[in-house]
Amino acid sequence: MVILFTTALWSCENVRMQKDLTTVFEASDSLETATYDQGIAWWKDLETSSPYVSLQSFGETDIGKPLHLVVINAERNFSAEKLRDSSKTVILINNGIHPGEPDGIDASMLFARELVMDDEFEERYPDVIIAIIPFYNVGGALNRNCCSRANQNGPMSYGFRGNAKNLDLNRDFIKCDSKNARSFVKLFNDLDPDVYLETHVSNGADYPYTMTYLMSQPDKLSEPQSDVMTGVFESGLLAKMKAENDDMTPYVNLFGTSPDSGFATFYDSPRYSTGFTALHNSFGLLTETHMLKEFSQRVMSTLRFMNSLVEIVQKHSKPIRDARDAAFTNLKAQNTFPLDWEVDYESHKDLTFLGYAAYYDTSDATGQLQLYYDQDSTWESIIPYYNRLKPTNSIRCPEYYLVPKSWNDVIVRLELNGVAMSLMESDTAVDCSVYRINEFETSKQPYEGHYYHSKTSTESHESTVVMRGGEYYLVSTNQKSKRFMIEVLEPAGPDSYFNWNFFDEILQQKEWFSAYVFDKEAAQMLEKREVKENLKKFISQNPALRDNGFAQLYHLYKESDHYERDRHMIYPVFRIE
């Protein structure tokens, strides 16, 4: 056994010496980023060169190419099942979600090579497993160009923000319109990472920092996780980056104005990665290097962040996993859940910020006043950072949801997210809470392939619903995916499946009437005092309809037995309280 092990190591060393693991970034004097083909070829070489590395395909993308996953593990176990059941802390790094922002693509190569070529790798990182998606948006990575990032300083060419279907994948974690997202969600739930890192390049204000960061908003995490997020991750990363002479600051969430007067945290609803990961009690982090800094500077800053992160996770592996375990335990007992949030402007943190002097001057292009920054004039000041969110809408969790089998797109997405369901095989009468959709607003322009709904309000009534066998899934909320299912199945949630148009069919009335026929029945209905009073009330509340005969007939039609009141505007997912 010892002889075989020694031979394997010797053989690995031999192969390692034969492979050139210089990256495109290094070979180009830090001017270029790897293409998709160059990157995957490099990762294959690293896999060949190290027993700690496995390059895997994990599902399909919209362009038809696979979603690749690199797993780095000192124990050399690489299957998702073994990783999920491991006692180690799992970090998932996602690169190239916006391939025009490629810093993480190249930084991950340098990061992985440094790790696995270190003779002390096994001793230094015994409690950490690292999984890396080299290119998430494969279609965008293949759509190379020089110029779509108007404000970005390098590299020479790069990919495009939209994927093969022109979707922004950092808006697709809930709706999963892309094959990329569906593959990712399955990967994420199979892997169940403790820590998630996503790499980006920012737009917005100008300032001296190369690196800014986002994280799953602590107010949206349970108490043990919130404490670890701020006390371990945020404070630790700030300290380590400072020690590397690479000070960073929270993501500067401003557009068209300067940070002199402060700024607010970014509200990461579940459509975004750090909002999505919070639904699964994973610690979500996101890097945003500054667009105007040189590409080489941005890549090296991202590399320093990755190195800092893996050191923190190794040092605090047990507290991180314990906090997640506690979060899932707390989840079981939690009965009320916030559905929507807003920035709390009554609370702020004093943030020491280094900025550039901002000034306004007449634009040579438009003749209007334009904001500019003087990079030769810096200032340092304490500014308010509005880093807290407060809930604006909460919901009580039911014991069960009843989801119709006919809404297949919803069923598929629930299953991808690990939601366990059981099909009701026999006819059953069930006492349920049923939502009627009262009001909502719909965007006038398409957003990510949808005419998205917002400001959705409902009213609830109790009803005994007779369900035919084989038509409904019974979904218990007593499972790890509890918070996820509440966010997507409660129609008032900002990223609910209702708001993403998965239930738009219920908004259209299917049967109508001919006025010349229904008019006589309407007159008979008005012989009832209650019906007549309701019509008067309707007209008084809508005076513009006083002379609109059809509108008045339609009001009466909706009070008749003809109206499909059990289907029109009735949300088809029911609650068992």
Write out the DSSP string of 6-27.
HHHHHHHHHHHHH-----HHHH
**Higher pLDDT pick, 546 / 226:** 226
Edge-to-edge strands of the sheet including 422-423? 422-423, 472-476, 400-404, 574-576, 428-442, 453-467
What are the residue ranges spanned by the domains of the chain? 2-203+291-316, 397-508+571-576, 515-559
Task: Kindly report, residue by residue over 340-372, the tens digit of the pLDDT.
Answer: 999 999 999 999 999 999 999 999 999 999 999
Task: Kindly report, residue by residue over 10-26, the tens digit of the pLDDT.
Answer: 344 444 445 899 999 99
Beta bridge partners of 108: none
pLDDT for the residue 85: 82
pLDDT for the residue 18: 54
Measure the N-to-C terminal CA separation of the chain; round to a whole number of Å. Answer: 60
Is 3's pLDDT higher than 60?
Answer: no
Quickly state the pLDDT bin for 6 (edges 50, 70, 90).
very low
C-alpha 130/C-alpha 152 separation (Å) is 29
> What is the mean pLDDT of the segment spanning 479-487?
98
* 176 φ/ψ sector (left φ>0, alpha ψ -120 to 50, else beta): left
C-alpha 299/C-alpha 30 separation (Å) is 9
Range list of β-strands (E), 320-427:
336-343, 349-362, 369-386, 389-396, 400-404, 422-423
Is 269's pLDDT higher than 60?
Answer: yes
> What is the mean pLDDT of the segment spanning 231-235?
99
pTM over 0.85: yes
Task: Kindly report, residue by residue over 485-526, the tens digit of the pLDDT.
Answer: 999 999 999 999 999 999 999 999 999 999 999 999 999 999
Quickly state the pLDDT bin for 468 (edges 50, 70, 90).
very high
Instruction: With CA atoms as reference, report the closest residue to 189 among 485, 486, 398.
Output: 485
pLDDT for the residue 276: 98
Q: What percent of the chain has pLDDT over 70?
A: 97
Task: Kindly report, residue by residue over 150-171, the tens digit of the pLDDT.
Answer: 999 999 999 999 999 999 999 9
> What is the mean pLDDT of the segment spanning 453-470?
97
**Superfamily covering domain 2-203+291-316:** Zn peptidases (3.40.630.10)
Is 427's pLDDT higher than 80?
Answer: yes
Task: Kindly report, residue by residue over 177-225, the tens digit of the pLDDT.
Answer: 999 999 999 999 999 999 999 999 998 899 999 999 999 999 999 989 9
CA angle 91, 97, 102 (to 5 degrees): 95
pLDDT for the residue 12: 46
C-alpha 250/C-alpha 238 separation (Å) is 10
pLDDT for the residue 14: 40
Task: Kindly report, residue by residue over 286-341, the tens digit of the pLDDT.
Answer: 999 999 999 999 999 999 999 999 999 999 999 999 999 999 999 999 999 999 99
pLDDT for the residue 409: 98
Task: Kindly report, residue by residue over 124-143, the tens digit of the pLDDT.
Answer: 999 999 999 999 999 999 99
Average pLDDT of the chain is 95
Q: What percent of the chain has pLDDT over 90?
A: 94
**Higher pLDDT pick, 83 / 36:** 36
